[in-house]
């Protein structure tokens, strides 16, 4: 499981956190399934954008990278990312592996010298095609004027891979998900592929081409290779390539589809290396209708949200608010509404009520009873359906399902059964069943929610006297009663409106 590697020319913002959180949810879910999982993230440190900012600040690019990488590592930690390695493309091991890979392509005749000319966006570090340009000659992403550039460099024979890429897409309908992005990649390929320039002559901040040290590799070739090179040195003294390659999932935003869906598989084919199994493409988080980015300055600060509401609340909100795969707006008001209604009231209260009733009516021991039939139907098949959705990276749909069939259903169950009345009327057997059903339902829901909210769910499970996080354990009725429950501080304490602004 991989995230894109982020550019170190800017500070991390919620957009980066979003991808990292989503990848982390999937990685944690795969671990729950018992899959041997390696989760990779990191930073993209070479290229024009970083060199430009460093020059403006009058410092060497490496110094800028060293300074900024700290913020990206911190972002990962703060959002609870469980990555197994953090790659920096300035790592010497990465550089050496890039040189080996590219030299091999050169020796195989897949790279040749040529002259490149075109509209270039320094922020994207990419030449733009005529179709992509907006407002005369502006970058569609950064809204800055593009410059016309011309230089002698080296080209990768992308056009040679037209046929093999078409075959790949014909054979593997789930290579790119969701479907609309698959279609976008196919139509891009069908338009006809041109060779792409893979080195830069003017730039010094990059990995030198071993056959011509006056050039460095174009940052995208260097960056894409991170997914593959990391495995050669992530574990000192051990090469993990055989164990983990091909990657199962590259998770990326829609802005970098072309590189991942066209150039990357072609590079791997050229080298005779297996292509990844799936690319998952998500949309943009918008604030007031515009893509969030450092350059636009319209950024919801994830660090601030975490400080006030906690990591899990941010993770939940990101995965819940915007249907994964689509673009969608986020806002502080929207965040607070979901925090109070869904997290504090629906999940948090359900947990405290259930624990309190077990303590009060049953001395803190989950009754040994039958699983109530009224709930069993709703939970039946739930794990499998969550699995299916996550196989397709439908992170929001999976979460909605857990909420509708689990959390909300359990809340209705409490109201329907009114355990306090059963207690008053001395209907012991029925009360046992209801309390067991609630504890068991909460357990299942918490195992399923664990990848989304690792810390909160672990705390709740511990309070329920449970510790098994395996997905196989998430079957309603699988855990017998008898566990001793413990007290639990509110999972999502009430926060005064507007606290984020403080
Ligand atoms: N360095 C390249 C990627 C190389 S991968 C081999 C790059 N870096 S980036 O810092 O610009 O990060 C881009 C990625 O950040 C997007 O693909 C997306 O995953 C994430 N996002 C950045 N802004 C975002 C939003 N506003 N919304 C959602 N995701 C966003 O491109």
pLDDT in tens, 212-262: 999 999 999 999 999 999 999 999 999 999 999 999 999 999 999 999 999
Same domain, 237 and 367: no
Show the domain range for 431. Answer: 330-473
DSSP 326: B
Distance 253 CA to ligand 1 centre (A): 6
Mean pLDDT of 199-211: 91
Q: What percent of the chain has pLDDT over 90?
A: 83
Cβ–Cβ under 8 Å, residues 304 and 13? no
Identify whether 325 is part of a domain.
no
CATH number at residue 440: 1.10.730.10
Count of domains forming the chain: 2
Nearest alpha carbon, ligand 1 atom 5 = 4
Same domain, 82 and 126: yes
3-state secondary structure of 151: strand
Same domain, 17 and 111: yes
pLDDT per residue as tens digits for the range 272-297 = 999 999 999 999 998 776 666 555 55
Nearest alpha carbon, ligand 1 atom 12 = 6
Torsion of the alpha carbons at 492, 495, 501 and 502, rounded to the nearest 10: -110
Alpha-carbon gap, residue 41 to 79, rounded angstroms: 13
Peptide bond into 246 cis (omega under 30): yes
Identify whether 179 is part of a domain.
yes
**pLDDT of residue 318 exceeding 80:** yes
Q: What rounded mean pLDDT belongs to the chain? A: 93
Identify whether 493 is part of a domain.
no
Same domain, 156 and 244: yes
Alpha-carbon gap, residue 4 to 223, rounded angstroms: 9
Residue 234 CB neighbours (<10 A) = 18
Tokens, residue 241: 């390539």
User: In what order do the strands lie in the sheet containing 147-156?
Assistant: 126-128, 111-121, 147-156, 196-197
Same domain, 174 and 53: yes
Tell if the pTM clears 0.85, that is, is over it: yes
pLDDT per residue as tens digits for the range 89-131 = 999 999 999 999 999 999 999 999 999 888 888 776 667 777 7
Distance 19 CA to ligand 1 centre (A): 8
Alpha-carbon gap, residue 474 to 458, rounded angstroms: 14
Same domain, 338 and 435: yes
Nearest alpha carbon, ligand 1 atom 24 = 15
Same domain, 357 and 448: yes
Contacts of residue 124, Cβ cutoff 8 Å, sequence gap at least 6: 139, 141, 142
Nearest alpha carbon, ligand 1 atom 18 = 253
Identify whether 86 is part of a domain.
yes
CATH number at residue 62: 3.40.50.620
Place of tokens 């922020």: 123
Distance 360 CA to ligand 1 centre (A): 50
Alpha-carbon gap, residue 367 to 415, rounded angstroms: 19
Same domain, 77 and 218: yes
Identify whether 432 is part of a domain.
yes
Distance 199 CA to ligand 1 centre (A): 22
Q: Which range is most confident: 124-133, 197-206, 386-395?
A: 386-395
Residues with CB under 6 A from ligand 1: 4-7, 15-16, 18-19, 44, 223-224, 226, 252-253, 255-256, 284-285, 291-293
Active-site residue list: 13, 16, 121, 124, 139, 142, 291, 294
């Amino acid at each position: 499981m991989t995230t894109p590697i982020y550019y170190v020319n800017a500070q991390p913002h919620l957009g980066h956190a979003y991808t990292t959180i989503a990848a982390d949810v999937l990685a944690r879910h795969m671990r729950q399934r018992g899959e041997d999982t390696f989760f990779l993230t990191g930073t993209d440190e070479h290229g024009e954008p970083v060199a430009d900012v460093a020059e403006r600040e009058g410092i060497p690019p490496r110094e800028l990278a060293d300074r900024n990488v700290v913020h990206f590592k911190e972002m990962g930690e703060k959002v609870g990312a469980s990555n197994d390695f953090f790659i920096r493309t300035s790592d010497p091991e990465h550089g050496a592996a890039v040189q080996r890979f590219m030299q091999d392509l050169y020796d195989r005749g897949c790279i040749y010298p040529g002259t490149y000319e075109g509209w270039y966006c320094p922020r994207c570090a990419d030449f733009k095609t005529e179709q992509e340009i907006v407002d005369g000659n502006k970058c569609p992403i950064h809204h800055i004027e593009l410059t016309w550039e011309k230089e002698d460099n080296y080209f990768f024979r992308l056009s040679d891979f037209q046929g093999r890429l078409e075959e790949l897409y014909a054979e593997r309908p789930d290579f790119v998900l969701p479907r609309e992005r698959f279609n976008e990649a196919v139509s891009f390929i069908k338009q006809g592929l041109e060779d792409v320039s893979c080195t830069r002559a003017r730039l010094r901040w990059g990995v030198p081409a071993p056959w011509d040290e006056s050039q460095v590799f174009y940052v995208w070739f260097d960056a894409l290779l991170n997914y593959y090179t990391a495995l050669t040195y992530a574990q000192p003294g051990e090469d993990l390539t055989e164990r983990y390659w091909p990657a199962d999932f590259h998770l990326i935003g829609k802005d970098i589809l072309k590189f991942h869906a066209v150039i990357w598989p072609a590079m791997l084919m050229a080298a005779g290396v297996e292509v990844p199994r799936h690319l998952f493409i998500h949309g943009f988080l918008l604030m007031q209708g515009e893509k969030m980015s450092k350059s636009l300055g319209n950024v919801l600060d994830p660090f601030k949200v975490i400080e006030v509401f906690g990591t899990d609340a941010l993770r939940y909100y990101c995965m819940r608010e915007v249907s994964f795969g689509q673009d969608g707006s986020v806002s502080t008001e929207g965040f607070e509404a979901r925090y109070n209604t869904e997290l504090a009231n629906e999940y948090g209260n359900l947990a405290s009520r259930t624990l309190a009733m077990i303590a009060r009516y049953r001395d803190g021991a989950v009754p040994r009873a039958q699983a109530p039939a009224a709930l069993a139907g709703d939970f039946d098949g739930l794990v499998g359906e969550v699995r299916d959705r996550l196989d397709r990276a439908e992170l929001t749909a999976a979460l909605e399902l857990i909420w509708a069939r689990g959390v909300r259903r359990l809340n209705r169950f409490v109201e329907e059964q009114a355990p306090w009345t059963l207690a008053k009327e001395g209907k012991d057997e029925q009360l046992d069943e209801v309390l067991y059903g609630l504890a068991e339902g909460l357990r299942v829901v918490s195992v399923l929610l664990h990848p989304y909210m690792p810390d909160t769910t672990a705390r709740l499970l511990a309070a329920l006297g449970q510790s098994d996080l395996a997905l196989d354990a998430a079957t309603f009725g699988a855990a017998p009663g008898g566990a001793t429950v413990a007290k639990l501080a509110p999972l999502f304490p009430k926060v005064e409106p507007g606290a984020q602004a403080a």
